[in-house]
Amino acid sequence: MKSIATIKIDEKVYEFPILEGTRGPKVLDIRSFYKDTGMFTYDPGFTSTASCNSEITFINGEKGELRYKGYPIEELTEKYKYLDICYLLLNSKLPTHEQSIEFDNELRHRAFVDEGFQSLFNAFPRTAHPMAMLSSAVSALSAFYYDHVDISDESEFAQMSGRIIAKIPTLASLAYRRGLGIPIIYPDIDRYFTENFLYMLRAYPGGKMHRNINEKADTKISDIEVKALDTIFTLHADHEQNASTTTVRTVASTGAHPYGAISAGINALWGRAHGGANESVIAQLELIGNVKNVDKYIAKAKDPDDSFRLMGFGHRVYKNFDPRAKILKKLQDQLKDELNLDSRLLEIAHKIEDIALNDEYFIKRNLYPNIDFYSGVILTALGIPKNMFTTIFVIGRTVGWISQWVEFKKDKKAKIARPRQLYLGL
């Protein structure tokens, strides 16, 4: 028997079904609210509104819990590679050993992009932000692959999904190298997905690799570097109905090409309050400059009349420690010596972290360190510049976006997104 909620408005009683998911809070079904009452609901930012059904990702913000397809994020990062997580999100099951190898091999061969993309990237000024170039290039993918995807055909869906997951790192590397004005490096099919991305960033004609442009020594890609970046990709793979995912679903609702929807998601992710936050964290640590200055900036953050805000703390959903941040903190501690993490930035970050975890001001407001607080230091150690941080987020999140796009398209009850408004004009 269905549960029913009653709402009394102007002495009239209305009934609405209460829906129950497998996890999380109950949901009041108000799809008929306007039809029944002649009124809209008002929920800026959709903080209390469930816009869809989903079986992909579950978050319990109060408990600090994150699951992909029912699997705890802690288990997935410990036992599986990023491409295994991609397989899980796309197929609702973890791959066998043979399936893992086959999927990996497929993406290695799909990583190449049409030679026409060289002309596209050469048309951008070298000063362009990598996210601007990447979103444009992904939109252009729909011109090169304008096949209308039949999602009822599993092979066609798999081809579309594998194509964009494989090509995003290549396009990101082209954006990076355009900014430096250096020759492009083609994907190497002998390298795993994550190693291949680092290779396309670092390699030069002739076979040498450099972690950053100022290094002279030949640098090999270590297993620990691949593990670190692979973990970051996994932690970013999906995160329920956040701003960029909602953007992808909204664009999908119009019938737009899936690559166009993902391009829109990239632009939404670029925002400083969303995916651009880890770039801001490192910039802020560099601004603070010295551990002696931390107290001064903490005081500024507490001052209600000061516009300064401490980046990398608090989360819209998590009211406890971000589980992804816990994993990265542990990884950061493990990598401190192996990756030669910037000791100056780490010292500043550790003092800020210690204050935030013990200061009543931060505790009362649930301002715990989030994933962005830790990821920037690790990415810096990998030789990845700040303006590329958000493209790393894009690479990890692409599989989540395409999974969400498919789930939306398969939902027979889905409609074009069309919020209403509280009109206050003349």
- Would you say 131 and 176 are in contact if contact means Cβ atoms under 8 Å apart? no
- Would you say 347 and 308 are in contact if contact means Cβ atoms under 8 Å apart? no
Cα(151)–Cα(194) distance, rounded to whole angstroms?
28
- Would you say 55 and 241 are in contact if contact means Cβ atoms under 8 Å apart? no
Which 8-state DSSP code applies to residue 94? Answer: P
- Which helix (DSSP H) or strand (DSSP E) does residue 179 occupy? helix 154-180
Phi, psi of 8 (to 5 degrees): -105, 120
Cα(234)–Cα(250) distance, rounded to whole angstroms?
24
CA distances from 247 to 49, 91, 252, 279, 367 (A): 15, 23, 8, 21, 26
Tokens 């002495």 belong to residue = 11
Q: What sign does the CA torsion over 337, 338, 340, 344 have?
A: negative
Question: Which residues are catalytic, by number?
Answer: 315, 372
- Annotate 295-330 with DSSP letters as a single string: HHHHHHHH-TT-----TTB--SS-SS--HHHHHHHH
Quote the tokens at residue 154.
Answer: 């599993």
Please choose, from the candidates 359, 371, 251, the residue with its C-alpha nearest in 3D space to the C-alpha of residue 322.
371
The angle formed by the CA atoms of residues 64, 67 and 72, to the nearest 5 degrees, is 85
- Would you say 91 and 403 are in contact if contact means Cβ atoms under 8 Å apart? no
Q: How many residues does the chain have?
A: 426
CA distances from 66 to 71, 143, 318, 363 (A): 8, 36, 10, 21
Quote the tokens at residue 66.
Answer: 């994150």
